[in-house]
């Protein structure tokens, strides 16, 4: 059994972590599968992460205490993410029904059309910003009609989604909570108004399905689930598209593999989430004293799986520091694992696979046309702009 005092220390505020998070975490992982932090314990290897994520325990909201933000402390009890036990199972089953495979497959032709509609102007110009012109608007335009959101509201909703999505990061700097709260309030008010309007005019969209399935639930419960779907469907997908595309551009040999065989796009998607995943940590709060392999975590303490480290575990992934477009299998944990794995993962995977398939069929190569600014580590180190020159296939 590990003595907590003997564990290495993870410091989210350390300059080494901010400037080179992967190297920092790999150094810790070589010392021990666990580390301690000011928020509890962290897990750095897959062998220890898997059983921890299989536990039926809620995602931690330890980082939003009531004295800091009473509103967020209360609201973050609503989402599916923070539930556990029978209530959580019931909500997941309902969402799985709404997002069943045949519903997602039926969307494939429209998703291709939407992506091509955004891509074509870039192909004609031979240049553009892949983030602003393509990856940012694409998932929002897919999700808007699915949720029944007016197209005119997409950009406004999208901004709220981007800001409020940061609530799940246990290592958020405290000064970000005001921005998160404001965005959450705005999105909640908007969806409450839409809920009341839609209730009198139910359609075939997912929001209408939620209203039908959750008949008798409080309005805030329905809106909480809708907010979660909106965040997952918009923000997660567009940020991961940007990260994976940047990996392909900076590893031209892997782009060549995809270009030669667009049928491996699904592998590129999985490898992108492993090598350049936007999910950096998966935090859980213990509801009982829990003995893990070599570590005891007490009730109320937080346990965080550092996905960025786990996804590069050399015991699981050969050449773990190498981006390999043909890697298979690729058991990353960027969509979580166990009872809290991402319920919207099939839709996100399909969107990204279609996107990279279409790019590989039409583009010979990309060249960076300027600097690539990135968000900080707390928001996934994602390119906020990806200016490129585009060379078409002959």
- Cα 375-380-382 angle, rounded to 5 deg: 50
- Cα 244-100-194 angle, rounded to 5 deg: 85
Nearest to 298 by CA among 108, 117, 40, 89: 40
Burial tier of 164 (Cβ tally within 10 Å: 0-12, 13-18, 19+): buried
- Residues 10 and 37 sit within 8 Å (Cβ to Cβ): yes
pLDDT of 63: 53
Whole-number Å distance between alpha carbons of 37 and 239 = 27
Nearest to 140 by CA among 115, 121, 168: 115
Element (H, E) at 303: strand 302-305
128: left (phi over 0), alpha (psi -120 to 50) or beta: left
- Residues 355 and 331 sit within 8 Å (Cβ to Cβ): no
Instruction: Tell me the three state secondary structure of residue 319.
Output: coil
Nearest to 281 by CA among 71, 27, 41: 41
| Six token digits for residue 193 | 């108004």
- Residues 28 and 309 sit within 8 Å (Cβ to Cβ): yes
- Residues 280 and 380 sit within 8 Å (Cβ to Cβ): yes
Residue 291's φ and ψ, nearest 5 degrees, are -95, 120
CB atoms under 10 Å from CB of 145, counted, come to 16
Query: How many domains, the chain?
Result: 1
Sheet with 363-368, edge to edge strand ranges: 127-129, 387-392, 363-368
Please state whether the peptide bond connecting residue 329 to the residue before it is cis, i.e. omega within 30 degrees of 0.
yes
DSSP assignment of 327-359: --S----TT--GGGS-TTHHHHHHHHHHHHHHH
Range of the domain at 48: 4-392
Whole-number Å distance between alpha carbons of 34 and 25 = 11
The separation between the first and the last C-alpha atoms of the chain, rounded to the nearest angstrom, is: 62
The CA distances from residue 245 to 67, 83, 356, in Å, are 41, 34, 8
The CA distances from residue 348 to 139, 207, 236, 254, 273, in Å, are 9, 18, 8, 22, 11
Whole-number Å distance between alpha carbons of 365 and 249 = 8
Instruction: Tell me the three state secondary structure of residue 181.
Output: helix
Residue 389's φ and ψ, nearest 5 degrees, are -100, 140
* Segment 12-44, tens digit of pLDDT: 889 999 889 999 999 999 999 999 998 889 999
Whole-number Å distance between alpha carbons of 335 and 339 = 11
* Segment 343-371, tens digit of pLDDT: 778 888 999 999 999 999 999 999 999 99
CA atoms within 13 A of residue 263's CA, in its CB half-sphere? 1
pLDDT of 66: 76
- Residues 149 and 157 sit within 8 Å (Cβ to Cβ): yes
Instruction: Tell me the three state secondary structure of residue 293.
Output: coil
Counting every residue written for the chain, the total comes to 394
Weakly modelled stretches of the chain, pLDDT under 70: 1-3, 57-65, 77-85, 98, 102, 168, 170, 377-380
Q: What is the CATH number for 113?
A: 1.10.630.10
| Six token digits for residue 67 | 């004295």
């Amino acid at each position: 059994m590990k003595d907590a005092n003997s564990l290495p220390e993870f410091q989210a505020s350390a300059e080494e972590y901010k400037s080179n998070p992967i190297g920092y975490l790999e150094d810790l992982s070589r010392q021990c599968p666990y580390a301690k932090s000011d928020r509890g314990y962290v897990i750095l290897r897959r062998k220890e992460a898997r059983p921890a994520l299989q536990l039926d325990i809620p995602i931690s909201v330890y980082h939003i205490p009531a004295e800091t933000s009473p509103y967020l402390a209360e609201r973050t009890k609503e989402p599916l993410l923070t539930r556990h036990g029978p209530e959580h199972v019931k909500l997941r089953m309902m969402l799985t029904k709404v997002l069943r495979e045949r519903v997602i497959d039926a969307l494939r032709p429209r998703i291709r059309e939407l992506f091509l509609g955004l891509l074509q102007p870039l192909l004609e110009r031979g240049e553009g910003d892949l983030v602003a012109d393509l990856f940012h608007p694409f998932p929002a335009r897919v999700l808007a009609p699915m949720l029944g959101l007016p197209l005119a509201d997409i950009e406004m909703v999208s901004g709220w989604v981007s800001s409020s999505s940061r609530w799940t990061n246990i290592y958020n700097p405290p000064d970000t909570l005001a921005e998160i709260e404001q965005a959450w309030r705005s999105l909640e008010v908007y969806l409450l108004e839409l809920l009341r309007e839609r209730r009198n005019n139910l359609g075939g969209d997912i929001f209408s399905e939620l209203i039908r399935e959750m008949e008798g639930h409080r309005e805030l419960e329905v809106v909480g689930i809708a907010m979660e779907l909106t965040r997952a469907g918009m923000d997660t997908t567009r940020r991961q598209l940007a990260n994976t595309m940047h990996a392909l551009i900076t590893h031209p040999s892997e782009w060549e593999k995809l270009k030669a065989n667009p049928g491996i796009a699904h592998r590129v998607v999985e490898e992108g989430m492993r090598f350049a995943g936007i999910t950096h940590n998966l935090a859980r709060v213990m509801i009982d004293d829990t003995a893990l392999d070599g570590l005891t975590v007490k009730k109320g303490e937080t346990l965080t799986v550092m996905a960025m480290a786990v996804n590069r575990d050399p015991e699981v992934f050969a050449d773990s520091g190498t981006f390999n477009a043909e890697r298979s299998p690729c058991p990353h944990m960027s969509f979580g694992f166990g009872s809290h794995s991402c319920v919207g993962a099939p839709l996100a995977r399909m969107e990204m696979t279609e996107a990279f398939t279409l790019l590989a069929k039409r583009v010979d190569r990309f060249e960076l046309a300027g600097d690539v600014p990135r968000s900080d580590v707390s928001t996934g180190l994602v390119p906020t702009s990806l200016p490129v020159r585009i060379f078409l296939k002959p």
